[in-house]
Structure 1
Amino acid sequence: MQSAQNVAYAAEFHEPLALVISRVEEELGDIARLIDYNQSVIARLTWEAGGSDPSYVKAMQDADLISQKLAGIAEFLRNVADAVPPDFHVETHRATGNLRLAELMHKIGAKGREMDYKAAFDAGDFELF
């Protein structure tokens, strides 16, 4: 498989590196908040039944740790993005090509495909599961 830097795409896919890092940072922060929210809902609904089970407690603690780690990585990326020179650019088309979730692909990279994604979403072309 070719690495992203060996493939040239149209200029529309070349973006400031700091902007791409910021989008990844934002997505990681959103995921951390979602884990926190889901963990609180799950704990509220199931604590009485599972609170005395060490495996349950460990799983809840692990979810909290995962959320904290994601938030920490997001903050690290924020600091990296702030330090990247504005003239550093990256090609995002191929870098996002192997992502399995279209929504994630369009949130963090390949800005040139943003309109295609919005059109598909507006048309109802997405899956609920």
Structure 2
Amino acid sequence: MNMKVATVEQREAAVEPIAEILGRVGQELDDLAGQLQRVQGLISPLVLQASSLEPGFLQEIQAVDHIEQKLTCLSRFLSALGPFMHGHWVLDMSEASEVVTLSELARRLRTAEHITDETEQVSGDFELF
């Protein structure tokens, strides 16, 4: 990992209340669960068609539903923790945010005041196949 040297001011700008971080991560998980639920709606006809040819396929594809349920539960768990965090409990997100390679996700996980011109130019968006 390429480490950047930051000034004290830049480091202090990355310090955030844990409650806000948990809320943002919880929201991202909730968004993923919603996206997965929409995908399930799209693939349902294909799943039914395939399960008529291979009965075990339907049981296997139920794992997608289980993943969506887990994402929803984790989202709610993190969001529920936030209000119980003291305001003075903070984390420095600078190094952790550098490992997020999807630029839009990294942007959403950081607050707007932490986004610099340099970080907005970083590539790493997902590729469609």
TM-score normalized by the length of structure 1 = 0.76
Unaligned runs of 5+ in 2: 2-7
Partner of 1:91: 92
Q: Shift of residue 59 of structure 1?
A: 3.5
Q: Shift of residue 118 of structure 1?
A: 9.2
Equivalent residues in 2 for 1:52-91, closer than 5 Å: 52=52, 53-91=54-92
Partner of 1:16: 17
Q: How many residues align?
A: 119
Distance 2:101 2:119 in 1: 17
- The alignment yields a C-alpha RMSD, in angstroms, of 2.8
Residue pair 1:22, 1:81 contacting (<8 A) in 2 also: yes
Distance 1:117 1:34 in 2: 30
Unaligned runs of 5+ in 1: 2-7
- Please state whether the residue corresponding to 1:27 is helix, strand or coil: helix
Distance 1:23 1:79 in 2: 12
- Please state whether the residue corresponding to 1:95 is helix, strand or coil: helix
Q: Shift of residue 119 of structure 1?
A: 5.7
Per-residue CA deviations over 1:45-82 (Å, capped at 9, x if unaligned) read x1342122234313321000000001001111011111
Q: Shift of residue 105 of structure 1?
A: 1.4
Distance 1:39 1:83 in 2: 34
